[in-house]
Chain A
Amino acid sequence: MPRTLWDSTVGKKTVMAVSGLIMLSYLVVHMMGNLKIFFGAGQFDSYAHWLRTIGEPFLHYEWALWLIRVVLVAAVVGHAVAAYQLSRRDIRARPGGYVHKRARASYATRTMRWGGIILALFIVWHILDLTTGTVHSGFRPGHPYQNVVDTFSTWYGNTIYIVAMAALALHVQHGFWSAAQTLGVGNATRDRLLKTLANVLAVLLFAGFVSVPVAVMTGVVS
């Protein structure tokens, strides 16, 4: 069955749908966790520390976190490889367009591929900036509140983050509804509900994530 799945365009889309939904559910939790920043440095930092202790004493320190990381990396890799292979196939299936050009599909739909690339680059920067601190001068491990405030006190930190979140909202708007179609959940009666859910998810994620840099910029969080 794994080969049947991977060898078929419908199967590869299924891999994309499932991995996309895994990443989406992670993002919803991540976004809600981020909002703890509005309760002050103490709450936020202890929440960040708790993430490392989930499952203790049954699980060892940081094991749950690493388990989540492994699942996420698998989802990102599966999603990206399937997207790359399907895109290559799609471009081969339609070499050269029409002489008479016109805009096709919605903006969110047309920007799925470039939006995905933007998000992949953003994830790399985001991890180097706030997880490992490699590109973050003055990074203090164990003090996420201060690190977040530092990042959003720079113009480039804000720009990269807000652009990426806009790309995320567009990606989720088409991606969530698309995943439902791929998994065979979509039908005529449920279409409006699924589209509304996709829009709500996109708006909530954008608002939730962007509220943090906006709060730092306006001095609500400092």
Chain B
Amino acid sequence: MKLTLRVWRQKNADSPGAMATYEVDDISADMSFLEMLDTLNEELTLRGEEPVAFDHDCREGICGACSLVINGDAHGPERTTTCQLHMRSFSDGDTIDVEPWRASAFPVVKDLVVDRSSFDRIIQAGGYISVPTGAAPEAHATPVPKPDADVAFEHAECIGCGACVAACPNGSAMLFTSAKVNHLNVLPQGAPERETRVLDMVGQMDDEGFGGCTLTGECATACPKGIPLPSIAAMNKEWLRATRKARKVGR
């Protein structure tokens, strides 16, 4: 099929960007969206033009590297990652707008590539468990009730792609942070740091300049991994509990 692409081009973080229009032809419906962009970049390279920079890695929908807002939707029209989006979701003759994630906490590096290291710093603030290193512990040593294991796994599915922030009209990272907090806070391994984790991660999230949550629900709709909106309420509950406890121990 033949498509018109309008792609955000921006030389670097300091220069202003703009949409540039490109025509691509002979696109197969079985190509992934990223393969379609590869085709465009091949043509651009042959013409001696600068190829479009975009993030990608595993192309299997599990690494969280790809990050495009396609026709106003994070990861495009299907509920999946951009790498798992196929051109059969579009029709011959379509005009497709491709933009980078938009949020102050995700500054554009070049073209469609944004700097998501603010997510790394939220993880560094508490998205881990402190265990002494050594031999792997006996798997049966710490029993985990099945419902808790299910909740933890549901949240562990978050790949940290940032679609939630990109979709949020406030550029809020609440869904991402709640996925990470809930993942560890329901597990016995996460219990020793249950309070500090939620307080520190929410604190870091605020420090990075993400917006607040107004419960629009756009994040959960965009999430390729289906992290549900009630996760945010669950994190708020954890935060309020930790704040009350912190006062008691005079933290």
CB distance from B239 to the nearest CB of A (A): 5
B residues 219-240 in Cβ contact with A at 8 Å: 228-230, 232-240
Residues of A within 8 A of B169 (CB): 90, 94, 97, 104-105
B211, A89: Cβ atoms closer than 8 Å: yes
User: How many angstroms between the C-alpha atoms of A194 and B7 in the bound complex?
Assistant: 42
- Annotate B136-170 by CB proximity to A: 1 below 8 A, 0 otherwise: 00000000000000000000000000000001111
Among B8, B72, B234, B236, find the residue whose CB has the most chain A CB atoms closer than 10 A. B236
From B6, B8, B104, B237, give the contact of A94 (CB < 8 A): B104
B51 proximal to A (CB < 8 A) = no
Select B102's contact among A97, A110, A188, beta carbons within 8 Å. A97
Contact across chains for A99 and B8 when beta carbons are under 8 A apart: yes
- Shortest beta-carbon distance from B171 to chain A in Å: 4
| B155 CB to nearest chain A CB (Å) | 13
A168 close to chain B: CB less than 8 A: no
Contacts A12-B212, A183-B236; A99 near B168 (Cβ below 8 A)? no
Q: Which of B72, B172, B236 contacts A93 (CB 8 A)?
A: B172
Any A CB within 8 A of the CB of B19? yes
The answer, among A101, A109, A182, A185, for a CB contact under 8 Å with B72, is A101
**Taking the complex as formed, is A14 at the interface, i.e. its CB lies under 8 A from any CB of chain B?**
yes
- The one of A97, A178, A185 that contacts B214, using a Cβ cutoff of 8 Å: A178
Q: How many residues of B contact A (CB 8 A)?
A: 51
A-B contact list, 29 entries, CB within 8 Å: A1-B243, A1-B247, A4-B243, A4-B246, A7-B206, A8-B202, A8-B203, A9-B206, A10-B213, A10-B236, A11-B243, A12-B212, A13-B236, A14-B240, A86-B211, A86-B214, A90-B170, A90-B172, A90-B211, A90-B212, A94-B103, A94-B169, A97-B102, A99-B19, A109-B215, A110-B216, A181-B230, A184-B238, A188-B228
Please report B residues at the A interface, Cβ cutoff 8 Å: 6, 8, 19, 69, 71-73, 97, 99, 102-105, 167-172, 199, 202-203, 205-206, 209-218, 228-230, 232-241, 243-244, 246-247
